[in-house]
Chains A and B, each alone.
Chain A
Amino acid sequence: MASENELSASTLDDLLPEAKARLDEDERGRFRIICLSTGLIWEKLLEITRGYFDITEQGDFYQLYTTHKRHNKKFHVYLYLYQHPGTESPIIFTLNSYDDFRRSAHRMIKKTEDLYTLWIRPGETSELRERILDKEGIRLTGFDYDTFGKEEHKGERRPGYKRSGSHDSEDAEHVLEEWKMEYGIAPTQLRFDLPSKGQFHFSNDGEFVLTEGDTHFLYEEVVELALEKSHPLSETVQSSELKVSTQEGIDEIEERPLEMKIPDSLDYEDVDNLVSAMKQDDFYPYSYQAAPGSLLLSGRIMDEQNGGMISVATDGETMTILPRYESGFDSLIRFYRFIVEQVDPKTSIQIAEV
Chain B
Amino acid sequence: MNEDRVESRIETLTEEKRQRFEDRLSEREPELREEIFERHQDDITNQLLDDKSELNNFNVIVSGFRNRSETGYRYIRTEPFIHKNKRNVDILIAHPEAGVAVLVEYERTLASGTDEKLEKFKRRKEFVEGGGDDDLDTNEYLANVLSTNVDAIDYVISSQHTPQDRLKAAGERKELSFCVWDLADHGVRCSIYYFPIKEHKTAPFKGHTEDELETYIIDTLANRVPKQDYLAFTFSSSKYLKLKHMAFVLVTRYHSKGNETFTYEDWENLFAKQDVELNNYLDQEKQTLYQNFISYGKECNVVVLEEDRGDLLKDGYRIKSSATSDGEKLEAELEEKMAKDRMGDDLKEELLKLKWDLLEDVQSTGETTISDFVDR
A-side interface residues toward B, CB under 8 Å?
Answer: 242-244, 248-255, 257, 279, 284, 286-287, 289, 291, 294-300, 302, 304-309, 311-320, 322, 324-327, 352-354
Contact = CB atoms under 8 A, between A and B. Distances in A.
Contacts of B146: 249-250
B76 interface: yes
B362 interface: no
A226 B97 CA distance: 50
A284 B323 CA distance: 13
Given A298-B59, A304-B327, A326-B253, 20 more contacts: A244-B273, A244-B276, A251-B276, A252-B67, A253-B66, A253-B279, A289-B52, A289-B56, A299-B229, A302-B248, A307-B251, A309-B249, A312-B229, A316-B187, A317-B188, A319-B188, A320-B228, A325-B249, A325-B253, A326-B275
Interface of B: 52-53, 56, 59, 62, 66-68, 74-77, 96, 146-148, 185-189, 226-230, 232, 245, 248-249, 251-253, 256-257, 270, 272-276, 279-280, 324-328, 331
Given A307-B253, A322-B228, A354-B226, A244 B279 contact: yes
A286 B53 contact: no
A163 B186 CA distance: 36
A300 B252 CA distance: 13
B187 A315 contact: yes
A252 B226 contact: no
A287 B245 contact: yes
Given A251-B279, A287-B245, A279 B328 contact: yes
Contacts of B148: 248
26 contacts: A243-B274, A244-B272, A244-B273, A244-B276, A248-B148, A250-B76, A251-B272, A251-B279, A254-B67, A255-B228, A257-B226, A287-B232, A289-B52, A289-B53, A299-B229, A300-B232, A306-B256, A309-B249, A309-B252, A313-B228, A313-B229, A315-B189, A322-B228, A325-B249, A325-B253, A326-B275
Contacts of B327: 284, 286, 302, 304
Given A243-B274, A254-B67, A318 B188 contact: yes
A251 B187 contact: no
Contacts of B257: 307
Nearest to B280: A251
The 7 closest A-B pairs by CB, nearest first: A284-B327, A249-B147, A315-B187, A296-B187, A251-B279, A307-B256, A307-B252
A252 B328 CA distance: 32
Contacts of B96: 248, 250
B306 to A, nearest CB: 20
B252 A302 contact: yes
Contacts of B59: 298
Most chain B Cβ neighbours within 10 Å, of A244, A289, A309, A325: A325
A291 B57 CA distance: 13
Contacts of A326: 253, 274-275
B275 to A, nearest CB: 5
Contacts of A295: 187
